[in-house]
């Protein structure tokens, strides 16, 4: 129950309204008992005595109660609607925000669909629960209790019969509860798997189409979908047992009341009128008991939903400001931009194997360092340490001597601009995507950034220029075009430190060359760490560092390293024979100019 109880603070903040909802629910249940009594009175009294004048008052009573019931029902739903709808989106925004500040490493360990299914399916389940399930779950036992007490007052034996019926009910509840909860957990997890499969099958559509593997994807989908079907059917089967038991037990109780009551009449310890009243009350109790089955199932699904929600909310934020929170807009101090890696170790959380091991590296303010290394040598990992997308596991990264863990995260991220190997564009205009690097930039600054990234020409040729919508919901651009926009975003606002992770891998060499020269000219003060594969890139850097086996194996200028480092020569494709034509050349795009 704990996961649901943890919503108490939210409930308490609207407790007045919610209590009103509960009272209205309870009243609605109560009115069901009152009206038959009044109508009974009318029939037995005024009508039986053919006394029209005595009729009006109780009729008005019936009408008033009828109107009140309708208004109460209307009011309960009107009141609860905005409250629960508001809660749903509040919970979602909490979930969303928790995830926005959760480190990349933890994100990578979650399947994307699991997050989405929690944010959507589970929260709508909880909205329904707080709107209907909970008020009825709270009021139904009261009704049953009151009914049982009334029965007991009427005739203690009848009360005992009801209590006796409670025993098998509780037994079946407990059997049902355990199995249902387990199944509902698996089923809701499977929804997450379904979501993941759907997402992947769409995001990887080009590969599926290229290889004609849509049937393969469909089979995978079919498997999880089948699993989900199986679990939902199991839920239906559990429901069928439980609900029919809850249907049967109160009717058996009624039969028992009739039987035992008759015996009591014969024995003389009760009267026919008492038996009739007992049956009437037990008749009224049938509905709430039957409903209990549905309510319990709903509560268990909501419990699962709540558990899954808290699993996300309870994710520990490990990359934060020193006080454990993250300030969105901290003051940004003045830095020269000396970037230093001091005995840096890094390993992923789930392995002891060190990706980076005792790595030392220093980049002076304004200097450009090219980092080279074989595929999988840890270059991207190293780059991700600078904006603290990951944290070192030992050692430290410092800017002007300050450990970056002692700076507010967002001050650091203000100082450091990154461009990723997989360019990430958002569904927004070109201008908005570039401006993200330095909010508040004007159009000139955007064009300048685009120019540095060699993207000015193609952007001006886009159907709506800067206003062209890109990203998943916009125009699809080529890999090279996306990379250049992402690069423009990184350089706009002249960041103190620029981290470029193979930013132009999908661009021809000449463009890359031009970009690098522009970077040096226009951003001479930015300290730049650039991950490179090509000699042309390395040659333009002030210093080149070779990453191997998790540490810097060689450091020097391009020429020096070509002389001194066989590893570097191999990486640059220069170690081999004369036909080492794999060295980069100027490409077509450059040649045309």
Partner 1 sequence: MSIPRLDRDDEVDELPPDIAAKARALLKSLVRPHLAMAIFLALIVVLTALMLVIGPVFIADALDQGIPRAVDGDTGPLITAVSLFIASAVASAVLAFTSTRLVGITAQKILFTLRERVFTHVQRLDLGYHEKSTSGRLVSRQTSDMESVQQFLSYSLFDTALALLQMIFIAVTLIVLDIPLAIVVFAGFIPLFFITKAAHSTQRNAYRRTRTSIAKVIVHFVETMGGIRAVQAYRRQPERRGTLSDQDSRYRDANTDALRGVAWFAGWTRLIGNVTQTVIIVVGAWLVIEGWTQIGVLAAFILYLRRFYGPLDELVQAFNLYQSASAALEKIAAVLDTDPEVIPPSQPHSLPAQDSGQASGRSVDLTHVRFSYGDGPDVLPRFDLRIPAGQIVALVGATGAGKSTLVKLVTRFYDPTEGRITIDEVDLRDLDDAQLRSHVVMVTQESFLFAGTIADNIRIGNPEAGDDEVIAAAKAVGLDGFIRRLPEGYATDVKKRGGRLSSGQRQLVSFARVFLADPDVVVLDEATAHLDIPSERLVQNALATVLEGRTAIIIAHRLSTVEIADRVLVMDAGRIIEDGTPADLIAGTGKFAQLHRAWKDSLV
CA distances from 406 to 313, 315, 324, 409 (A): 25, 22, 11, 8
d(CA 130, CA 134): 5
In the complex with partner 1, which residue's Cβ is closer, 223 or 343? 223
d(CA 440, CA 436): 9
Angle CA 421–424–426, to nearest 5? 170
How far is Cα of residue 407 from the mean position of the Cα atoms in its chain?
28
Work out whether the CA dihedral 380, 386, 387, 388 comes out positive or negative: positive
How far is Cα of residue 217 from the mean position of the Cα atoms in its chain?
24
Q: Which stretch binds partner 1 (CB under 8 A): 6-14, 57-65, 143-151, 395-403?
A: 57-65
Does the footprint of partner 1 cover residue 93 (CB under 8 A)?
A: yes
Helices (H), 523-578: 535-540, 558-564, 566-571
d(CA 481, CA 474): 14
Window 120 to 149, contacts with partner 1 (CB under 8 A): 120-121, 124, 127, 131
In the set 398, 489, 496, 551, which binds partner 1 (CB under 8 A)?
489
In the set 382, 416, 491, 515, which binds partner 1 (CB under 8 A)?
416
Does the footprint of partner 1 cover residue 589 (CB under 8 A)?
A: yes
In the complex with partner 1, which residue's Cβ is closer, 92 or 362? 92
In the complex with partner 1, which residue's Cβ is closer, 288 or 343? 288
Window 281 to 340, contacts with partner 1 (CB under 8 A): 283, 326, 328-329
Closest CA to 37 of 290, 279, 280, 287: 280
Per-residue contact string for residues 340-379; x = within reach of partner 1 by CB under 8 A = --------x-xx-x------------------xxxxx--x
Residue 343 CB, nearest approach to partner 1 (Å): 23
Does the footprint of partner 1 cover residue 163 (CB under 8 A)?
A: no
Reduced to 3 states, what is the DSSP secondary structure of residue 142?
A: helix
d(CA 280, CA 274): 10
Helices (H), 475-534: 479-491, 509-522
Q: Which stretch binds partner 1 (CB under 8 A): 33-41, 303-311, 359-367, 393-401?
A: 33-41
Does the footprint of partner 1 cover residue 17 (CB under 8 A)?
A: no
Q: What are the structure tokens assigned to 423, written together?
A: 């360019």
Window 238 to 257, contacts with partner 1 (CB under 8 A): 239-241, 243-245, 247-248, 251-252, 254-255
What contacts 432, CB < 8 A, 6 or more positions away? 426
Residue 238 CB, nearest approach to partner 1 (Å): 10
Does the footprint of partner 1 cover residue 34 (CB under 8 A)?
A: no
Q: Which stretch binds partner 1 (CB under 8 A): 1-9, 89-97, 176-184, 307-315?
A: 89-97
Does the footprint of partner 1 cover residue 185 (CB under 8 A)?
A: no
Does the footprint of partner 1 cover residue 116 (CB under 8 A)?
A: yes
Question: In 238-355, at which residue ranges do the beta strands (DSSP E only) sit?
Answer: 339-346
In the complex with partner 1, which residue's Cβ is closer, 18 or 420? 420
Work out whether the CA dihedral 10, 13, 17, 22 comes out positive or negative: positive
d(CA 197, CA 496): 41
Does the footprint of partner 1 cover residue 223 (CB under 8 A)?
A: no
In the complex with partner 1, which residue's Cβ is closer, 78 or 167? 78
Does the footprint of partner 1 cover residue 208 (CB under 8 A)?
A: yes
In the complex with partner 1, which residue's Cβ is closer, 2 or 353? 353
Reduced to 3 states, what is the DSSP secondary structure of residue 468?
A: coil
Does the footprint of partner 1 cover residue 152 (CB under 8 A)?
A: no
Query: What is the CB neighbour count within 10 angstroms for residue 292?
Result: 22
d(CA 314, CA 319): 15
Residue 432 CB, nearest approach to partner 1 (Å): 7
Residue 400 CB, nearest approach to partner 1 (Å): 20
Residue 170 CB, nearest approach to partner 1 (Å): 18
Does the footprint of partner 1 cover residue 172 (CB under 8 A)?
A: no
In the complex with partner 1, which residue's Cβ is closer, 168 or 343? 168
Site for partner 1 (CB under 8 A): how many residues? 204
Does the footprint of partner 1 cover residue 466 (CB under 8 A)?
A: yes
In the set 154, 508, 552, 565, which binds partner 1 (CB under 8 A)?
508
In the complex with partner 1, which residue's Cβ is closer, 203 or 343? 203
Closest CA to 125 of 97, 87, 93, 99: 87
Residue 439 CB, nearest approach to partner 1 (Å): 8
Angle between helices 134-154 and 15-42 (to 10 degrees): 40
Window 561 to 580, contacts with partner 1 (CB under 8 A): 562, 570-574, 576
How far is Cα of residue 360 from the mean position of the Cα atoms in its chain?
38
Query: What is the CB neighbour count within 10 angstroms for residue 132?
Result: 18
């Amino acid at each position: 129950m704990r996961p649901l109880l943890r919503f108490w603070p939210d409930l308490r903040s609207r407790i007045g309204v919610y209590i009103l909802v509960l009272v209205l629910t309870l009243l609605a249940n109560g009115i069901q008992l009152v009206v038959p009594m009044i109508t009974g009175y009318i029939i037995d009294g005024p009508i039986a005595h053919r006394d029209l004048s005595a009729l009006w008052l109780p009729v008005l009573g019936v009408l008033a109660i009828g109107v009140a019931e309708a208004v109460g029902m209307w009011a309960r739903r009107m009141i609860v609607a905005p409250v629960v709808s508001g809660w749903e989106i509040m919970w979602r925004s909490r979930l969303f925000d928790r995830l926005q500040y959760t480190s990349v490493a933890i994100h990578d360990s979650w399947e994307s669909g699991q997050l989405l299914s929690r944010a959507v399916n589970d929260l709508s389940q909880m909205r329904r629960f707080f709107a209907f399930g909970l008020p009825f779950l709270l009021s139904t036992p009261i009704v049953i209790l009151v009914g049982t007490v009334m029965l007991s007052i009427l005739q203690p034996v009848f009360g005992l019969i009801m209590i006796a019926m409670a025993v098998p009910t509780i037994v079946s509840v407990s059997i049902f509860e355990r199995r249902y909860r387990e199944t509902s957990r698996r089923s809701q997890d499977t929804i997450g798997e379904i979501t993941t499969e759907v997402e992947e099958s769409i995001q990887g559509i080009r590969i599926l189409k290229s290889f004609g593997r849509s049937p393969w994807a469909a089979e995978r989908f079919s498997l999880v979908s089948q699993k989900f079907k199986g679990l939902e059917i199991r839920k239906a089967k559990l429901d069928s047992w439980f609900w029919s038991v809850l249907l049967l037990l109160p009717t058996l109780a009624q039969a028992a009341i009739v039987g035992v009551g008759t015996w009591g009449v014969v024995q003389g310890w009760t009267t026919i009128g008492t038996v009739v009243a007992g049956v009437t009350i037990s008749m009224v109790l049938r509905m709430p008991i039957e409903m209990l089955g549905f309510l319990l199932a709903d509560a268990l699904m909501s419990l699962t939903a709540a558990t899954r929600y808290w699993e996300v909310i309870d994710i520990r934020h490990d990359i934060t400001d020193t006080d454990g929170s993250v300030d969105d807009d901290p003051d940004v101090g003045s830095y020269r931009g000396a970037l230093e890696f001091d005995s840096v170790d890094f390993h992923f959380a789930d392995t002891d194997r060190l990706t980076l091991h005792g790595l030392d590296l220093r980049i002076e303010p304004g200097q450009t360092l090219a980092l080279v290394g074989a595929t999988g040598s840890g270059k991207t990992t190293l780059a991700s340490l600078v904006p603290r997308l990951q944290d070192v596991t030992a050692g430290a990264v410092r800017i002007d001597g300050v450990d970056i863990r002692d700076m507010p995260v967002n001050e650091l991220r203000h100082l450091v601009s990154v461009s990723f190997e997989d360019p990430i564009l958002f569904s927004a205009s070109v201008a908005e995507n570039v401006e993200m690097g330095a909010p508040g930039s004007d159009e000139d600054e955007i064009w300048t950034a685009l120019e540095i990234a060699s993207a000015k020409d193609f952007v001006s040729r886009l159907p709506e220029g800067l206003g062209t919508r890109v990203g998943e919901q916009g125009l699809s651009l080529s890999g090279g075009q996306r990379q250049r926009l992402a690069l423009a975003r990184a350089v706009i606002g002249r960041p103190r430190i620029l981290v470029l992770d193979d930013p132009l891998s999908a661009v021809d060499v000449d463009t890359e060359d031009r970009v690098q020269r522009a970077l040096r000219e226009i951003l001479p003060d930015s300290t730049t760490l650039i991950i490179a594969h090509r000699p042309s890139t390395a040659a333009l850097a002030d210093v080149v560092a070779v990453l191997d086996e998790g540490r810097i194996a060689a450091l020097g200028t391009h020429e020096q390293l070509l002389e001194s480092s066989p590893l570097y020569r191999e990486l640059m494709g220069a170690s081999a024979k004369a036909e080492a034509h794999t060295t980069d050349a100027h490409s077509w795009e450059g040649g045309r100019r």
